[in-house]
Structure 1
Amino acid sequence: MKLRAPAPEHFTSRLRGVATTARVGTWLGICFGLCFLTGLVSHYAQNVDQPVPFPTSPAWGYQVTQGLHVISGTAAVPLLLVKLWLVYPRLFQRPPREPRRLPLEALERGSIAVLVASGVFLLASGLMNAAQWYPWEFSFRRTHYAAAWLAIGALLVHIGVKLALVREGWAERPDTEPTEGGGLSRRGLLRTTAAAAGVAVLATAGNTVGWLREVSAFAVRSGEGPQGVPINKSAAAAGVTETATAEDYRLEVAYGATTVSLSREDLLALPQHTEELPIACVEGWSATGAWTGPRVRDLLELVGAPAESTVEVISLQESGPFRASTLQGNFAADDRTLLALALAGEPLDLDHGYPARVIAPNRPGVLQTKWVTRLEVPA
């Protein structure tokens, strides 16, 4: 028996058509665009060398953009699956015979191939990152960023090639006539697709929107954790359980030849300030807490460093990509940037960075360094 590839006419579902494809494709494009823009914000916020400093206000800015990033990416999953189902018969369509049409056809199919491959990679790896499962050796952040540019470039090419057809699709009203056997109509398919995207959003939005946590079955953080704030890495995982609780702990603040060494008791003797600030992580979850401790700029004054100095923050953690972070000058000078010693009115939990951690407004959670042992201002 000889096997033959199916032809486009073998796919007879009435649900496929320009009206349904244009609408689902537009929704998917909006999700991809929103995910891309908020991803750029996150990538920029984590860069050390920024031509324009990342703003410290509003304090909840990164919390919102990163929540939108994960929510829009999650909503794109069912939209992408339906879009692929609507258009995959075109994979079996033979190229046109007219030579002048071949370049446009090649451009269209090439952009689709890149868009589908990068889109699937972005959504799959993004969901794994949200779940903190990394079955790969490459840098997630750099690879995800590069794939995002591939996806958005291919999307723009695809839109340019298909713009006339998209307009035609939106001008056509999807019919309400069900398929044979009483199945879905085209309008029913659109409603079902929109509902699936909505359910996906509700199932994960509780990571960011606290009052949705009861219905967000797939939210990777329930909102529970020490002192009411979740954690990503425990003190045991960071290998700092003994050093963080040692009696001889000291915080060093250094500027040029001047160094001040402070015990936790010394830090508690300084003027204490309390700020309501969120911890917002790249995985999309966030939680707000009342943090108390001395201002970082007050600590810099002890060694005569300018208020807007760039500060290298070093943790007791001996290894890992975020054992140290760079606190840019505008963050160091902000009154809300603290070396937190307490959370919710209680001494900082060990897993939240005891004896001291940095907390600053509108900053990615991975840069809010825990178990701080040194603040160093480059001379």
Structure 2
Amino acid sequence: MRELTSRLPTSPGFWRSPLRGPWLTSVLGLVLLFGVGVLFVTGLLSYAAYNPGLSPVNDKTPDKGLLGFYLFAWPTDPYWLYRLTQGVHVTLGLTLVPVLLGKLWSVVPRLFTLPPVRSVAHGLERISLLLLVGGALFEFATGVLNIQLDYVFPGSFYPLHFYGAWVFFAAFVAHAVLKVPKALRTVRTMRASRDDDLVSPRPDPPTVSRRGALWLVGGGALLMCATNAGRSFDGPLRQTAVLSPHGGPEPGTGPNGFQINKTAAYLGIDPAETTQDAWRLTVTGPGGTVRLDRAELLRMKQYSVALPIACVEGWSTSDQWWRGVRLGDLAALAGFDGHPPDVLVESLQRRGAFRRGALRANQVADPRSLLALHVNGEPLSADHGYPARIIVPGAPGVLNTKWVTRMTFGDLS
């Protein structure tokens, strides 16, 4: 019976690795302490960039209540802000995957300790660990699936990831408050008590040192970074993003040969609706309704601006030269002269989360915000939003609506 018991995960003798111990766990935990903090802040910034306060148009996370305390009007300067914050969020998240797995491996014996609850305080700690481990796996898993455009989870990614982040981070902060002082002492002294529950009472002979294990985890993290980070950069570095669905060479040549997320065909765009005879832009506001075809838009004053596109999946394009009509001029047609308001933008697309998107007044008023008709000197391609698309400095890619068919300026409530 004793021999059988020793073969169960609940027995300390079951876990034989000599690598497990407070020092390895503490080092990995301190790395996660910094990394998860950065992920949380950049994640909140990403959510703010979607202008969720323009409800119910952009808001995919209802009833957030006090959790939306930090929301603000997303700025248009610097124009690369979202490209930076979301690039850091996604690349760092992928980089931390080996660290997270190493940390979970180092503490897995504690998940099987008996009795499972020794006191009220111990029970609360176990619950916090359940939220911590479950929240970490949920956040990293949904994040990786979103990057891969693999939406196998139930419901919308936005509320799932948003609420999951708050649960995970609350448990993470509670755990850090309890464990960081001990972790710092352990790392500083390079030793810990041999009776720690992570230390095997009957370890197998070592095949690698703890420092070697750290090099393995660190090497895995660097590999994840090196094979994904390039999609957030311009030039040769983009070629290194071999594990990214939007990495590597540009998906074409010519003026329109730069990255897209989904094609016009995938999103249900009927080419017959985008012809010169069929397509019209409807602009509505207190001054009435104006309908313009593409030729009439081209006769309006045209402006050019160099801006990238940056998406929630962490990829971005290099700066492209866009040319079209300022959103502020279209607001003036709708009856707003001098102080443009928020605007609701509607697309021809029939599938996808953002068939409608809203922009704040500060985004409409920026002189670089365009209803683009050309890119890099040529008319937009179908996949880049022909006949017309929005381009706004600093806005997430989904708010740069393609195949625009209607713009409503004014109160969106």
Please tell me whether the aligned partners of residues 174 and 187 of structure 1 are also in contact (alpha carbons under 8 angstroms).
no
Structure 2 equivalent of residue 371 of structure 1: 403
Please tell me whether the aligned partners of residues 287 and 335 of structure 2 are also in contact (alpha carbons under 8 angstroms).
no
How far apart, in 2, do the equivalents of 1:352 and 1:174 lie?
58
How far apart, in 1, do the equivalents of 2:115 and 2:264 lie?
59
Please tell me whether the aligned partners of residues 213 and 219 of structure 1 are also in contact (alpha carbons under 8 angstroms).
no
How far apart, in 2, do the equivalents of 1:115 and 1:96 lie?
17
Structure 2 equivalent of residue 345 of structure 1: 377
Q: Deviations over 1:224-254 (max 9, x none)?
A: 2351321112111222222122523211211
Relative to structure 1, the CA distance from residue 94 to residue 137 in structure 2 (aligned partners, 3 Å threshold; closer, same or farther) is closer
How far apart, in 2, do the equivalents of 1:229 and 1:351 lie?
10
Please tell me whether the aligned partners of residues 8 and 92 of structure 1 are also in contact (alpha carbons under 8 angstroms).
no
The counterpart of 1:357, out of the listed 378, 389, 393, is 389
Q: CA deviation at 1:257?
A: 4.8
Structure 1 equivalent of residue 265 of structure 2: 236
How far apart, in 2, do the equivalents of 1:74 and 1:301 lie?
45
Relative to structure 1, the CA distance from residue 94 to residue 168 in structure 2 (aligned partners, 3 Å threshold; closer, same or farther) is farther
How far apart, in 2, do the equivalents of 1:163 and 1:355 lie?
56
How far apart, in 1, do the equivalents of 2:257 and 2:351 lie?
27
Structure 2 equivalent of residue 215 of structure 1: 240
Relative to structure 1, the CA distance from residue 15 to residue 362 in structure 2 (aligned partners, 3 Å threshold; closer, same or farther) is same
SS at match of 1:341: strand
Structure 2 equivalent of residue 19 of structure 1: 23
Pairs within 5 Å for 1:286-365: 286-288=316-318, 289-306=320-337, 307-365=339-397
Q: Are 2:178 and 1:147 aligned?
A: no
Pairs within 5 Å for 1:245-264: 245-264=275-294
Give the residue type in structure 1 aligned to 2:72. Answer: V
More moved, 355-364 vs 289-298: 289-298
How far apart, in 1, do the equivalents of 2:334 and 2:151 lie?
42
Please tell me whether the aligned partners of residues 8 and 90 of structure 1 are also in contact (alpha carbons under 8 angstroms).
no
Please tell me whether the aligned partners of residues 20 and 169 of structure 1 are also in contact (alpha carbons under 8 angstroms).
no
SS at match of 2:395: coil
Structure 1 equivalent of residue 76 of structure 2: 56
Q: Are 2:45 and 1:45 aligned?
A: no
Please tell me whether the aligned partners of residues 27 and 187 of structure 2 are also in contact (alpha carbons under 8 angstroms).
yes
* Unaligned 5+ runs, structure 1: none
TM-score computed with the length of structure 2 as normaliser: 0.85
Structure 1 equivalent of residue 99 of structure 2: 79
Give the residue type in structure 2 aligned to 1:272. Answer: Q
SS at match of 2:227: helix
TM-score computed with the length of structure 1 as normaliser: 0.92
Relative to structure 1, the CA distance from residue 319 to residue 132 in structure 2 (aligned partners, 3 Å threshold; closer, same or farther) is closer
Q: Deviations over 1:249-293 (max 9, x none)?
A: 211211125222211111111221111111111111110311111
How far apart, in 2, do the equivalents of 1:181 and 1:162 lie?
29
Q: Are 2:179 and 1:167 aligned?
A: no
Q: CA deviation at 1:205?
A: 0.8
The counterpart of 2:86, out of the listed 61, 66, 86, is 66
How far apart, in 2, do the equivalents of 1:91 and 1:334 lie?
54
Pairs within 5 Å for 1:115-154: 115-154=132-171
SS at match of 1:351: coil
Q: CA deviation at 1:189?
A: 1.3
The CA RMSD measured in Å over matched residues stands at: 2.2
Q: CA deviation at 1:42?
A: 1.0
Q: CA deviation at 1:191?
A: 1.8
SS at match of 1:260: strand
Please tell me whether the aligned partners of residues 131 and 220 of structure 1 are also in contact (alpha carbons under 8 angstroms).
yes
The counterpart of 1:271, out of the listed 280, 295, 301, is 301
SS at match of 2:306: strand
Q: CA deviation at 1:183?
A: 2.3
Q: CA deviation at 1:329?
A: 0.2
The counterpart of 1:184, out of the listed 192, 200, 208, is 208
Corresponding pairs, count? 373
Q: Are 2:315 and 1:285 aligned?
A: yes
How far apart, in 1, do the equivalents of 2:108 and 2:153 lie?
29
Q: CA deviation at 1:48?
A: 3.6
The counterpart of 2:35, out of the listed 18, 25, 31, is 31
Percent of aligned pairs with the same residue?
40
How far apart, in 1, do the equivalents of 2:355 and 2:29 lie?
42
* Unaligned 5+ runs, structure 2: 55-70, 193-202
Give the residue type in structure 2 aligned to 1:353. Answer: G
How far apart, in 2, do the equivalents of 1:246 and 1:269 lie?
14
Q: CA deviation at 1:312?
A: 1.0
Give the residue type in structure 1 aligned to 2:378. Answer: E
Give the residue type in structure 2 aligned to 1:209. Answer: F
Relative to structure 1, the CA distance from residue 65 to residue 304 in structure 2 (aligned partners, 3 Å threshold; closer, same or farther) is same
Structure 1 equivalent of residue 60 of structure 2: none
Q: CA deviation at 1:71?
A: 1.0
How far apart, in 1, do the equivalents of 2:154 and 2:173 lie?
30
Give the residue type in structure 2 aligned to 1:317. Answer: Q
